[in-house]
Amino acid sequence: MREAVEQEKQEEGLIGQTLREKMKAAFSNVAVRRGLYAGVTAQVAQQFVGINTVMYYSPTIVQFVGIASKSTALALSLVTSGLNVVESILSMLCIHKYGRRKLMLLSLIAIIICVLTLIGVFFQAATTAPPINNIDTLSFGANATCQAYLDAPNVSSWNCIKYLKAECAFCASTGAM
């Protein structure tokens, strides 16, 4: 142990005293450079997959599925957050057994598949949303009627997605989705 401490002190003396000299010596070390590249790549990949967006908008995503109640959608988004916690704990337990690299690559592949699935589902929902009309909308009573829809000049172009974007709750269309 003493030898290791002495060796480390000697290496520190070789690195230099200024921050610039220390950085130069660190970047000249292949292991440090590879670790830095791996860390930066992991952080960039984490930002590009969009999990923060999915977690933030999970109540809205649940409402797009058809859960009209905001409190129910919020409660279901808590399930998503709870699963995130459970899976994080499981991954921490598996790191030593399977290794960081395997878990990272496997989870990255799974995330890409899930994000592509979300893209496909939202695209299909946007293109196949059934039209809405006054009769269907008014049948829910005054509280469920969308004022933006009633005031719109061209309501025949409205569909469920446009209705949702106007924050008017949900489609009142009887058409098949």
Find, among 61, 82, 59, the residue nearest to 72 by Cα.
Answer: 59
Q: Report the C-alpha gap between 51 and 59 in whole angstroms.
A: 14
The whole-model pTM stands at 0.51
pLDDT at position 86 is 93
Alpha helix segments (H runs only) across the chain: 2-15, 19-28, 30-49, 51-56, 58-65, 70-98, 100-127, 134-138, 147-151, 160-165
Per-residue pLDDT of 109-143, as tens digits, reads 888 898 889 888 878 877 776 666 666 655 544 44
State the pLDDT at residue 32: 87
Regions of the chain with pLDDT less than 70? 12-17, 65-68, 129-152, 155-177
Residue 25 to residue 97: CA distance in whole angstroms: 33
- The answer to whether 128 touches 160, Cβ cutoff 8 Å, is no
